[in-house]
Amino acid sequence: MTIETSESRPFEADVSRLLHMMVHSVYSDRDVFLRELISNAADACEKLRYEAIAAPELLGGDPRLTITISADPEAGTLTIADNGIGMSHDELIEALGTIARSGTRSFMDRIVGAEGKEGAQLIGQFGVGFYSAFMVASNVEVISRRVGSAEAWLWSSDGKGAFSVAPLSLDEAPARGTRVMLHLMDDAKSYAERWTLERIVKEQSGHVPVPITLVEKPGEEAKPLSDGAALWTKSKSDIAAQDYTDFYRSVAGQYDEPAATIHFRAEGRHEYTGLIFVPGARPFDVFDADRKGRIKLYVKRVFITDDAELLPRYLRFARGIVDSADLPLNVSREMIQDSPLLGAIRKGVTSRVISELVRLAEQDAEAFGKIWENFGAVIKEGLYEDFERREQLLGLARFKTTASGEGWRSLKDYVGALKENQTAIYYIAGDDAARIATSPHLEGFRARGIEVLLLADPVDSFWTSSGLDYEGKPFKSITQGAADLGLIPLLDAGAQPPAEASVEVQALVAAMKDVLGEEIADVRASDRLTDSAVCLVAAESGPDRQFARLLAASGRLGSAAKPILELNPKHAMIVGLAGNGDDAVRADVAHLLLDTARVLDGDRPSDAKAFSERLSRLIARSLG
């Protein structure tokens, strides 16, 4: 090759670390590298197809976009070439020397120790698929010429810390596009064999929307591997389940099986096709702060963008494509977000996805349960954000409850099991599912067989605070206000309902208000406690205990609102304390009871040193 002045550059620090992990952590499933390089080539062709809408001359005398895989078993090389848009000098450095996309650090943290299919699934999710080439190659050369440019460039690296970029004679470069040549490692020479290449392309890239051909040996004629036909344009009856899976893996950059496939054509006022997948495993970017969707937009099979908001953010886990027959091909990526037509498509696609999830929930509870396990915390964001579809989403929602065991319960199930005189849907929210399931707040509800929703996702505190109801039943936190359980009978007909606090306990309540002072809003006898001595509740108005903590942590509330301390008037400790005339003992125990309630609520004692001193004094008295 004729190479003039060459410049050598170090990889960005994150790339160097990533390359090391690619080789040492994901090495056990290397087939995925070919899928990633083919996907990059297809993207380059799609970009040129888009640019050629406004400038047809860019295609010149070569209008047919293709991807060519060339093997040379004797030389031990494999080349993936495309006649797409190509890259300039700066684009080569930016694309192959740095990682600019957010989430890279998260990606690398997750990839450490990953093996097999799990590791393969990670590749490509954060825009780093090219580097998977170093799993099989000791050296990688990339020759690229930007469409319409009179310059070509050679990028080269052994993946060990640096890369070089040099100008290349146009005689040795393609008329346009990119060639990636892999110098295969000794234990990866099978990737230059026809059978291996055919198998991988068929399994992983058979539905890439650009034709793929194979040159088995230098000098031989190219043979077609796939015709580049868009899968979504075919009739569903002509598509096998494995075809859908292959396409899903190609478009989603994942290696799992789709949990649900939604393929439909909308006709009438607007015509478009949708092929949407619900992943079988949770994508690692599903909780990224930007909450962007990953649906690709096509217009008459021409790729336009993967940045159009085609689904609401609470469905951002979905992967797939939408192909419109109505949008103009020359629409810009900037203008498309404001298009009324796109808004209509977005509404239609969203309704279709939700209705398909509802249908699946009704027909296959087990399959839907797995989807909810992975994405329920995301879907519930819609309860807070999407007023128009709130009723549908409430019907779709599933919950762990005090009556569900290991399974899920719907609100329809819950309302169908309401107790006599029960007028609300009760819930308890927190950040630890195991802790809230054993909360003392539940005791009075369990004694009456009242089902309580156990809400452990952060979003739960937001949607439950927005004044929702289901079939006329409001949502009520059991950690807020009075329990008001007197009208609901106990399960044990022989059990006595909570009695009025004795005179001594009433005096203790008044004394504890004075002792605890500004630490609490009030002290009162409880009708929700049956076994525990104390618990903390929030005031009737304002946020419940969990929501108050979240607001305080985010700075939106100066400090958590002062709680109310409830005492169990029948508990032996409370009765004993009420009969103790030692003011010092009563003061110490009052503070210890408050700190105990804080611990049961998931907090810490307000003053660890004072807590220890009070506990030590009480132990010393008991031993004396």
Q: Is 129 labelled a binding residue? A: yes
Pairing of strands 409-410, 398-401: antiparallel
Which 3 state secondary structure label does DSSP give 82? strand
Count, residues in the chain? 624
Pairing of strands 564-567, 522-525: parallel
Rounded to the nearest 5 degrees, what angle is found at the Cα of 98, between the Cα atoms of 158 and 34? 55
Place of tokens 């949008």: 327
Contact residues for 164 (Cβ-Cβ < 8 A; gap 6+): 6, 7, 8, 9, 155, 156, 157
Phi, psi values for residue 180, rounded to 5°: -110, 115
Q: Is 532 labelled a binding residue? A: no
Q: Which of 292, 295, 387, 383 is nearest to 342 (CA)?
A: 295
Q: Is 127 labelled a binding residue? A: yes
Both structure tokens of 360: 């699946």
Q: Is 264 labelled a binding residue? A: no
Contact residues for 472 (Cβ-Cβ < 8 A; gap 6+): none
Contact residues for 335 (Cβ-Cβ < 8 A; gap 6+): none
Residue 69: strand pairing partners: 80, 214
Q: Is 102 labelled a binding residue? A: yes
Q: Is 130 labelled a binding residue? A: yes
Task: Kindly tell me the burial class for residue 36, based on how many C-beta atoms sit within 10 Å of its own C-beta (0-12, 13-18, 19 or more).
Answer: buried
Q: How many CA atoms lie within 13 A of 286 on its CB side?
A: 20
Task: Kindly tell me the burial class for residue 270, based on how many C-beta atoms sit within 10 Å of its own C-beta (0-12, 13-18, 19 or more).
Answer: middle
Q: Is 178 labelled a binding residue? A: yes
Residues 322 and 303: beta-carbon distance below 8 Å:
no
In angstroms, rounded to a whole number, what is the distance separating the alpha carbons of residues 337 and 150? 35
Q: Is 125 labelled a binding residue? A: yes
Residues 275 and 257: beta-carbon distance below 8 Å:
no
Contact residues for 432 (Cβ-Cβ < 8 A; gap 6+): 456, 602
Q: Is 451 labelled a binding residue? A: no
Task: Kindly tell me the burial class for residue 347, based on how many C-beta atoms sit within 10 Å of its own C-beta (0-12, 13-18, 19 or more).
Answer: middle
Question: What DSSP element (H or E) covers 233?
Answer: none
Residues 384 and 466: beta-carbon distance below 8 Å:
yes
In angstroms, rounded to a whole number, what is the distance separating the alpha carbons of residues 167 and 169? 7
Both structure tokens of 44: 């380059």
168 C-beta neighbours (distance < 10 Å), count: 20
Both structure tokens of 550: 């979240």
Q: Is 546 labelled a binding residue? A: no
Which residues are annotated binding-site positions for ATP? 36, 40, 82, 87, 102-103, 125-130, 178, 333
Which residues are annotated binding-site positions? 36, 40, 82, 87, 102-103, 125-130, 178, 333
